[in-house]
Amino acid sequence: MNPANLGLALDFGLSTLALGIAIYAIAVRTTYAAVVSFVAYGLLLALVWIRLAAPDVALTEAAIGGGLTGVLLLGAAARLRVTEAGVEKERPGRVLRALAALLAAAVTAALIAALLALPTPAPTLAYEAAAGAPATGVGNAVTATLMAFRATDTFLEKVVLLLALLGVWSLARDDRWGGRPGLRHQADPKGVLVFLARLLPPIGIVFGVYLLWVGADEPGGAFAGGTVIAAMWLLAIMAKLADTPPIAHRGVRLLLVAGPAVFLLVGLGGLAFGAAFLSYPESIAKPLIIGIEIAMTITIAVTLGLLVSGAPERVDR
């Protein structure tokens, strides 16, 4: 079999498997089974991203799409199990389901038609990215795009993360404001979970820092690195080796704003001494970018961990 056919067969197999699991995640009765299959599906999607020559996206999808979203939904499914039966009778009738299927099929068909109508040769910004990358000192074009060419997007995205966390916190009951997020986890001190929670974090933290550092020139970056570190923290929390911090804690607040604050300072520096907001002087572009990324990785890790933990529910007495 020649390599082109092999690639096609691989793509076909991957998409069939991902679609099959996605359909199962929608069709299966119990929410728990749906969430577990969603995690498997997220990891398959990461492989699809590799096939689309986007390893940076694949890392982010595997870490955030499959991993963290999975943990978030699993926790919610466990707490909402009692509500499942009550909602079941609201399931729409056969006619409405048929109409929904028709609408979904029409949307899919329209998207495929649009895809086939895309112009050839495809418009691309790859040349501009390649031409601009040397000025940033960053070898990975995706990192250069995130941190330099479209740095405003990335900055605002940090703000969105913070706003989402504020939204989650604001759902706390008044008397629990300032307390620790989430319920206290229970774990068998001799169980596998506790064993892994002691074994994995040292490796995971080093790997997270490695992803951050190598992201300048190879696939990786602040998002993937921060997510891996957040996952290690959540693992320790679930194994009851650590606890979520009270959200009123000043240190936690400082860590949460560190990333956007450094980003904003560098941006304003560009406005004061350079050409525009977030313009980096070419001679120190790379140190500035790495500096922002280090601060961002810490903030991303803390923010993601707290987003998964949810609203404050326990006040220390």
Query: Binding of other proteins at residue 296 (CB under 8 A)?
Result: no
Of the residues 216, 278, 289, 307, which one makes contact with other proteins according to CB under 8 A: 307
Query: Binding of other proteins at residue 118 (CB under 8 A)?
Result: yes
Of the residues 2, 3, 124, 250, which one makes contact with other proteins according to CB under 8 A: 124
Of the residues 137, 138, 146, 180, which one makes contact with other proteins according to CB under 8 A: 146
Residue placing its CB nearer to other proteins in the complex, 194 or 219: 219
CB of 198 to other proteins, least distance (A): 27
Query: Binding of other proteins at residue 249 (CB under 8 A)?
Result: no
Query: Binding of other proteins at residue 48 (CB under 8 A)?
Result: yes
How many Cα atoms within 13 Å fall on the side-chain side of residue 68? 28
Query: Binding of other proteins at residue 177 (CB under 8 A)?
Result: no
Query: Binding of other proteins at residue 1 (CB under 8 A)?
Result: no
Distance between CA 65 and CA 191 in Å, rounded? 27
Query: Binding of other proteins at residue 18 (CB under 8 A)?
Result: yes
Query: Binding of other proteins at residue 78 (CB under 8 A)?
Result: no
Chain positions 276 to 295 lying near other proteins, rule: CB under 8 A, are: none
CB of 35 to other proteins, least distance (A): 7
Of the residues 36, 40, 43, 54, which one makes contact with other proteins according to CB under 8 A: 54
Of the residues 157, 236, 246, 314, which one makes contact with other proteins according to CB under 8 A: 157
CB of 154 to other proteins, least distance (A): 6
Query: Binding of other proteins at residue 95 (CB under 8 A)?
Result: no
Query: Binding of other proteins at residue 154 (CB under 8 A)?
Result: yes
174: Cβ contacts below 8 Å, ≥ 6 apart: none
CB of 140 to other proteins, least distance (A): 8
Q: With beta carbons less than 8 A apart as the criterion, state whether 145 and 125 touch.
A: no
Of the residues 142, 216, 235, 302, which one makes contact with other proteins according to CB under 8 A: 142
Query: Binding of other proteins at residue 6 (CB under 8 A)?
Result: no
Residue placing its CB nearer to other proteins in the complex, 194 or 300: 300
